[in-house]
A = this chain, B = another copy of it.
């Protein structure tokens, strides 16, 4: 069928199939709980394929992470840049900065296409894994988060840097919990909370965190 394709497309096809299955499994179970045999069986490829393409099981984990992480960060930083350039001088709207931080991943969370939704779950679970290579990647990622500080500073000029970091921390927490525990919110609220609309979720999250940040201004 694909006999006239050069080797590369076919190679990428198998690679991506493995990555898709691994992403899905690592999203719902811990790294140690997923075996390479489960992955290869589900992907319909040979057992040795993972070591052939990714060197090791840990290499596969890293590859799953890298495949989409930069895309997500680019989306975030693009939205941040858009807000900052829309207000070239003077104060920046606080909610706009926070939106740049949390809206892209929330949008991904509700986007089943191209595995975006699965990747967010994967990302959330990865935060707790202790694979050394993956931890190193997350420590590079703090550099990306630090880029939001100038934006926050321009939105809340009177707030000391320390406070801004604390606010960023709590915001990331509320967001992260939304990735992992949204279904629990539906359950605990007996279903009265609508967790289906991405815009609604993002709007509530942004408003909650913006208010939390703004409240510190008066107290410092």
Q: Which of A12-20, A112-120, A180-188 contacts B (4 or more CB under 8 A)?
A: A180-188
Partner of A212, one of B30, B162, B172, B209: B209
* Residue A54, interface by CB 8 Å: no
Q: Which of these, B130, B145, B146, B215, contacts A208 with CB under 8 Å? A: B215
Give bound CA distance, A146 to B177, whole Å: 18
Please give, as numbers and ranges, the residues of chain B lying within 8 Å of A214 by CB-CB distance: 211
Complex contacts, A166 vs chain B, CB 8 Å: 185, 193, 204, 208
CA gap between A171 and B205 in the complex, in Å: 11
Query: Which B residues lie within 8 Å of A139 (CB)?
Result: 187
Whether the pair B177, A28 counts as a contact (CB closer than 8 A) is no
> Of residues 117 to 133 in A, which have CB atoms within 8 Å of B's CB atoms?
125, 127-130
Category for how many chain A residues contact B: 35 or more
Q: Residue A185 contacts which of B165, B192, B219 (CB distance < 8 angstroms)? A: B165
Most chain B CB neighbours (cut-off 10 Å) among A29, A142, A168, A208: A208
A177–B184 Cα gap in the complex (Å)? 16
Q: A30-B30, A31-B30, A175-B173 are in contact. Are A188 and B145 (CB under 8 A)?
A: yes
**A127-B180, A180-B128 known; A185 vs B209 contact (CB < 8 Å):** no
Q: Which residues of B lie under 8 Å from residue A188 when comparing CB positions?
A: 142, 145-146, 165, 168
For residue A100, give the distance in angstroms from its CB to the closest CB of chain B.
17
A167 at the interface (CB under 8 A from B): yes
Contact A208 B216, beta carbon cutoff 8 Å: yes
A173 vs B192: C-alpha distance in the bound complex, in angstroms? 19
- CA distance in complex: A204, B219 (Å): 11
A42 interface contact, C-beta 8 A: no
CA distance A165 to B176 in the complex (A): 17
Chain B nearest CB from A38 CB (Å) reads 12
Contact string, A39-67, partner B, CB cutoff 8 A, digits 1/0?
00000000000000000000000000000
Closest 3 CB pairs of A and B: A173-B177, A211-B215, A32-B33
